[in-house]
């Protein structure tokens, strides 16, 4: 079947298109060249006057894994039908902060998103994470595998194993857990918490293993690069949320010694200690460091006001923040001693000084980082805000007048502590397309997504041009997933199942000679059960696996 999308105004940064009128053709799920053999078009959509982009990609959103289920269980009052969204009432879990898997797929698609990536897949819990993502319809998905507080790695570092041995372990884990990248959460800190350490700075030693977060980050970043994994080491840094953590973040950037590194939800790591409240913005220094260090990328983790729930593997910091829980209930737990999980409900308030300044800090970072290919639109769903707030965030970035109107309503002392009002920059449609499409596909390593050139999969979103960018990005006219129309006028019209994106770096099989006795002695799961087969991802007919090529491995 040949489909023609006629006369749309195309924003496709990967192909160098910024607002040109262009016809697109779809056949067999992919974008193809205009036919030259006289073939008739089977279906045509008139897109004149409309904005056309590739499907949006959320490169950091918590949509799979045990913490999501804990959050849903902890907040039953959040799971009522939201009248703003047209979600199916026959399925439960219509939550605002943490909707069910099925509803999440609907809501993402209805905003024009066609791919989402879970940023914290605990290897021993990876099967459950993939099952949850497999129950999320329409969108593609993938996960970053969590290492950095795992006992086996810390034992390797203590024993001063060579880099090749670490690389084999990292590659084996990625293959076993079916991931597309490596994530570190508070390097060594989740583990240190279990030895009664309540903080762990970049050069502070884990009291049991005598290893520092800096050593862990350097070793894993080098492994990712040498294995040829496209996505840089995905780093949730030390001291999340702590006033003064600006210095830790700057030291982390310098301490990685030029290796590629992605700093996630960086807003939470950009705080100074100036002013009467001993809490200030470090956005300018962080943005300058990103601008100067081309090996560094970041997503923001913007907070937006209202009720949400924070869910993180960083139980060290979640335990420290539990006294701020709203409503007043929380969970911290351990998973096989290799990681942790903290779930703390939270309500961000515009008249709370700290919350208001956090809001401003995130926007400052967005607007001060110069290269849109290295900064990404996230709220760290659900930690900063639910992903359904993205259209509102886009309007804040694209509309200075609206942004300043919002700024005028927040805590007056926070207004005095931010330079936001003086920043004139407004994001363009091309820049939005870069950080939510082309740039996200590039940094994750998706070779045939995030662009509208022939050969790419036909993940396409069509909007009606609207000066109110929030309204525009809330309700697309059409969303095509792999060439099929799945959303029309902001409503799902067809349910499909996306692919799971992975990488398969090579490793020395002899690593299992060390892992098997370790599993037998210390873990409740056997080595054979730990590894997920390809068939498990697609055995129920919901989706498939797509293995992406590696960079030229060192």
Predicted TM-score of the model (pTM): 0.96
CA nearest to 236, candidates 192, 174, 165, 301:
301
CA dihedral 40, 41, 47, 52 (to 10 degrees): -120
The answer to the question of residue 65 being in a domain is: yes
* Total domains, the chain: 1
Gap between the Cα atoms of 459 and 29, Å rounded: 9
What was the pLDDT predicted at 92?
A: 59
Tell me the C-alpha to C-alpha distance, in Å, between residue 100 and each of 46, 58, 78, 104, 189: 35, 17, 11, 6, 30
What was the pLDDT predicted at 196?
A: 92
What was the pLDDT predicted at 112?
A: 98
Domain residues for 372? 54-499
The answer to the question of residue 404 being in a domain is: yes
Tell me the C-alpha to C-alpha distance, in Å, between residue 14 and each of 9, 91, 179, 449: 15, 38, 25, 10
Place of tokens 């006992």: 151
For residue 29, give the DSSP letter: T
The answer to the question of residue 229 being in a domain is: yes
The answer to the question of residue 17 being in a domain is: no
In contact, 81 and 87? CB cutoff 8 Å? yes
The answer to the question of residue 552 being in a domain is: no
Place of tokens 């790695």: 153
The answer to the question of residue 12 being in a domain is: no
Q: What are the backbone angles phi and psi of residue 361, rounded to the nearest 5°?
A: -60, -45
Gap between the Cα atoms of 432 and 439, Å rounded: 10
Tokens of 4: 């023609």
The answer to the question of residue 548 being in a domain is: no
Share of the chain residues as helix, strand and coil, in percent rounded to the nearest 5: 35, 20, 40
What was the pLDDT predicted at 245?
A: 97
The answer to the question of residue 547 being in a domain is: no
Low-confidence ranges of the chain (pLDDT < 70): 80-93, 553-554
Tokens of 73: 């269980």
């Amino acid at each position: 079947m040949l489909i023609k999308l006629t006369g749309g105004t195309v924003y496709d940064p990967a192909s160098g298109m910024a607002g040109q009128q262009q016809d697109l053709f779809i056949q067999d799920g992919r974008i193809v060249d205009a036919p030259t053999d006289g073939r008739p078009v089977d279906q045509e959509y008139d897109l004149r006057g409309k904005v056309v982009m590739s499907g949006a990609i959320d490169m950091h959103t918590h949509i799979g894994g045990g913490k999501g289920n804990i959050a849903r269980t902890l907040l039953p009052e959040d799971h009522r039908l939201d009248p703003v969204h047209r979600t199916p009432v026959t399925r439960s879990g219509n939550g605002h902060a943490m909707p069910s898997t099925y509803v999440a797929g609907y809501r993402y698609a209805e905003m024009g998103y066609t791919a989402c990536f879970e940023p914290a897949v605990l290897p021993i819990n990876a099967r459950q994470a993939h099952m949850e993502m497999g129950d999320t319809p329409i969108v593609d998905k993938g996960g970053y595998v969590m290492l950095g507080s795992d006992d086996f790695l810390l034992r390797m570092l203590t024993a001063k194993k060579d880099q090749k041995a670490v690389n084999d372990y990292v590659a084996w884990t990625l293959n076993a857990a079916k991931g597309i990248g490596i994530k570190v959460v508070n390097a060594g800190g989740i583990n240190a918490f279990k030895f009664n350490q309540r903080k762990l700075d970049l050069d502070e030693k884990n009291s049991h293993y005598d290893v520092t977060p800096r050593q862990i980050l350097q070793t894993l970043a080098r492994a990712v690069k040498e294995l040829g994994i496209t996505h840089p080491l995905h780093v949730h840094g030390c001291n999340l949320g702590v006033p003064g953590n600006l210095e830790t973040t700057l030291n982390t950037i310098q301490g990685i010694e030029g290796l590629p590194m992605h700093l996630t939800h960086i807003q939470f790591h950009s705080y100074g200690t100036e002013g009467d409240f001993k809490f200030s913005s470090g956005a300018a220094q962080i943005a300058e460091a990103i601008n100067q260090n081309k090996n560094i990328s970041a997503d923001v983790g913007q907070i937006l006001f209202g009720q949400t729930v924070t869910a993180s593997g960083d139980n060290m910091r979640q335990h420290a923040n539990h006294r701020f829980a709203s409503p007043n209930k929380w969970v911290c737990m351990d998973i096989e001693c290799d990681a942790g999980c903290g779930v703390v409900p939270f309500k961000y308030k515009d008249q709370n000084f700290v919350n208001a300044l956090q809001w401003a800090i995130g926007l400052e970072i967005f607007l001060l980082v110069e290269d849109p290919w290295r900064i990404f639109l996230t709220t760290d769903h659900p930690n900063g805000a639910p992903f359904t707030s993205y259209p509102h965030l886009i309007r804040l970035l694209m509309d200075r007048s609206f942004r300043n109107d919002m700024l005028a309503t927040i805590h007056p002392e926070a207004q005095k502590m931010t330079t936001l009002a003086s920043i004139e920059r407004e994001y363009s449609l091309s820049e939005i397309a870069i950080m939510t499409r082309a740039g996200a596909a590039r940094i994750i390593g998706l070779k045939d997504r995030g662009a509208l050139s022939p050969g790419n999969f036909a993940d396409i979103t069509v909007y009606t041009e609207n000066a109110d960018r929030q309204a525009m990005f809330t309700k697309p006219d059409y969303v095509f997933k792999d060439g099929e129309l799945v959303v029309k006028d902001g409503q799902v019209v067809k349910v499909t199942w996306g692919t799971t994106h992975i990488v398969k770096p090579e490793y020395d099989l002899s690593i299992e000679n060390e892992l098997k006795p370790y599993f037998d002695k210390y873990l409740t799961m056997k080595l054979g059960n730990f590894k997920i087969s390809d068939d498990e991802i697609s055995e129920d007919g919901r989706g498939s696996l797509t293995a992406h090529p590696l960079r030229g491995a060192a």
